[in-house]
Amino acid sequence: MRKTDSASDVPAAGATDGLGGTVALEVNSPVDAPIEAQKKEFVGRSPGQLAWLRLKRDRTAAISAITLVILGVIALLAPVIGKLRGMSATQPFTDKLNDYAMPLGYAGGMNSTHWLGLEPGNGRDILMQLVYGMRTSLLIAFASAIVASTIGVLIGVLAGYARGWLDSAINWVIDLTLAFPFLIFALAVIPIVEDRFFGARDAIPASFRVGLIIATFGMFSWTYTARLVRGQVIALREREFVEAARAAGAGTQHILFRQLLPNIWAPILVTLSLNVPAFITTEAALAFVNIGVIEPTPDLGRMIFNSIAFVASDPWYTLWPGMTIFILVLAFNLLGDSLRDALDPKSTR
């Protein structure tokens, strides 16, 4: 009896058996398995999934994200850290200062109780000031970035889709806003608004100053996002899917927010991530012109400003807030660059 287990006896595709019936072949053969597995691995992934895969493979993005998560958690847990350490950010330790109001000991008063030392002059714990100062800076930066991006997206989508006189008017407003020097405007607006609501002898709440800074940032930082979104909308408004939506009777609101906006979220997200470090440094700079966050709210920029008078005698006081701002800004910038590369469909990373 002849054996039929050799390769030559396997029926070919379309072969018939002795009764005239068609022989079914096995599709998932061992040779084809790796090819099929490779197809299942790559077929059907959305642009968001591909961007996430590229981002996960980026070591710079991973290190930056981990750094920001750690610093963000520390900032959020500032009250818990204060309770565990048994001190607050504004608690003075004047008994640990010498007659010249300088911290006792070495390296700015570092010891087992005050890990980063004490502030000269008032004796506050530097670590607690840094933890609460990060909280203030991140709150202002994220809130300002969200406000500016929201205004820029709405105006940019409207300008890019409207055309005609409305587009020209919005472009004119954008050019006018860009012509204003931000720092000079902030120097004028913040004191005027505060005088409108508070008298010369009234104590200005720290929350009011923080909200005013966020509003000022939002008023002058939406222009770049608006121009970016406008250009993206102009490039997409004549595409087939928009024409199909118009032909189907879709309204303007549906086309703007359900058809166009979901297709331009990538550059908006990148712009948002890069605005945050810019706002951190700008908010810190406001302390040098006396329009930043006011006492007793801890702030990184004001710590650096106050430390200028003690650079020669206590350089550690300048080092810690400066290093904190440097790490925050660097991590955000690196993460924003990695995010831009990951979201770029032409990227080879």
What mean pLDDT is predicted for residues 101-116?
A: 86
Q: What is the pLDDT of residue 189?
A: 87
pLDDT at 22 over 70: no
Strand partners, 97: 103
- What is the pTM (predicted TM-score) of this model? 0.80
Ordered by where they begin, the domains of the chain are 2-43 (no CATH), 49-343 (1.10.3720.10)
Band of pLDDT at residue 238, cut at 50, 70 and 90: confident
Kindly compute the dihedral angle of the four CA atoms of residues 287, 293, 295, 296, in this order, to the nearest 10 degrees.
-130
> For residue 12, is pLDDT > 70?
no
Q: How confident is the model at residue 165 (pLDDT cuts 50, 70, 90)?
A: confident
**Phi, psi (5° rounding) for residue 118?**
-125, 155
Tens-digit pLDDT profile for residues 118-134: 999 888 999 999 999 99
272 contacts 149 by C-beta, under 8 angstroms: yes
In which residue are the tokens 């508070």 written?
Answer: 198
> In which band, very low, low, confident or very high, does the pLDDT at 278 lie, cut at 50, 70 and 90?
very high
Q: Please, are residues 194 and 212 in contact by the beta-carbon 8 Å criterion?
A: yes
252-262 per-position pLDDT tens digit:
888 888 888 88
Mean pLDDT value of segment 91-119: 87
Q: What is the mean pLDDT of residues 15-25?
A: 47
Q: Decide: 60 and 66 in contact? Cβ < 8 Å.
A: no
Q: One-letter amino acid identity for 77? A: L
Report residue 80's pLDDT band, with 50, 70 and 90 as the boundaries.
Answer: very high
Interatomic CA distance for residues 182 and 185, integer angstroms: 5
Interior angle at CA 211, CA 208 and CA 215, nearest 5: 135
CB 313 within 8 A of CB 102: yes
